[in-house]
Amino acid sequence: MTGSTSHPVRRAAWQLLAPAIIAALTAGIELAGRSVARSSLIKTIVGADVSPTTLMLSVAALAVVSVAGLALSRRLTTTHVVAVMLVCAFPAGMAAQLRLGARLQSDGFYYFAHLRSLWFDGDQDLTNDYRLLGMGDKVHLFTPTVTGAAQSAWTIGPAIVWSPFFAVGDRVVSQNVKGAYAKKAVLPADKAVRIR
């Protein structure tokens, strides 16, 4: 093939794969959002919940159709197959994580527990904060220390740095969410730092 015709042929091949790649990345972002934020963008937009299995089956079907189209047009290369497999691995991993009950998270919850406890409870006993932040299943955190408080291996430093921003966010949210704020629910804390 000459250099003048190979570029449009390669571009056409990637254009056939584009829908599968976009669908896989979109599904991965949706599933990561469910894991991190515990909410579904699809449900918010469409109003109906789509299971992780349905999302993955849709992505897999689109990937198979795209690869088959390239194979039939004799434009399929190893690079195309590897690209589709790698892109599909992202939502597959996220779906497996949701199915197994695992959660994609960082240590931020633990650092934030200090801030939440100081702000709403005026103490550093993180027992109720861990539960409110969805960490009630982590039994080791609830073994009392010599002071009788819950365990924490995370420092208070980030909570101190975040506190001015949290104060502004809490003020804004408290003006808009009266009932939940009055009960000192976790909602104002979540909205102030966007952790859930």
- Same domain, yes or no: 117 and 70: no
pLDDT tens profile 128-174: 888 877 777 777 777 888 888 888 878 888 888 988 888 887 777 77
Residue 67 CA from chain centroid, whole number: 28
Same domain, 33 and 63: yes
Half-sphere exposure of 184 (CA within 13 A, CB side): 9
Average pLDDT of the residues in 5-24: 78
Same domain, 19 and 89: yes
The last residue of one of the domains, among 74, 99, 124, is 99
State pLDDT tens for residues 23-82.
998 898 888 888 777 778 888 888 888 888 898 999 999 999 988 888 888 888 888 889
Range of the domain at 58: 3-99
Same domain, yes or no: 92 and 112? no
Contact 166, 115 (CB under 8 A): yes
Whether 113 and 92 share a structural domain: no
- Is residue 1 exposed (0-12), middle (13-18) or buried (19+ Cβ within 10 Å)? exposed
Say yes or no: 84 and 22 in one domain.
yes
Single-letter residue type at 152? S
Please tell me whether residues 78 and 160 are part of one structural domain: no
Tell me, what's the pLDDT at 194? 44
- Residue with the larger pLDDT of the pair 23 and 12: 23
Q: Are residues 11 and 72 in the same domain?
A: yes
Domain boundary among 63, 81, 99: 99
Last residue of a domain, one of 33, 64, 99: 99
Domain tally for the chain? 2
The reply to whether 88 and 127 lie within a common domain is: no
Please tell me whether residues 46 and 125 are part of one structural domain: no
Together in a domain, 36 and 122: no
The pTM score is 0.52
pLDDT tens per residue, range 90-143: 899 888 888 887 665 677 778 888 888 888 888 888 888 888 777 777 777 778
Are the beta carbons of 3 and 13 closer than 8 angstroms? Answer: no
Together in a domain, 26 and 84: yes
66: burial class by Cβ within 10 Å (0-12, 13-18, 19+)? buried
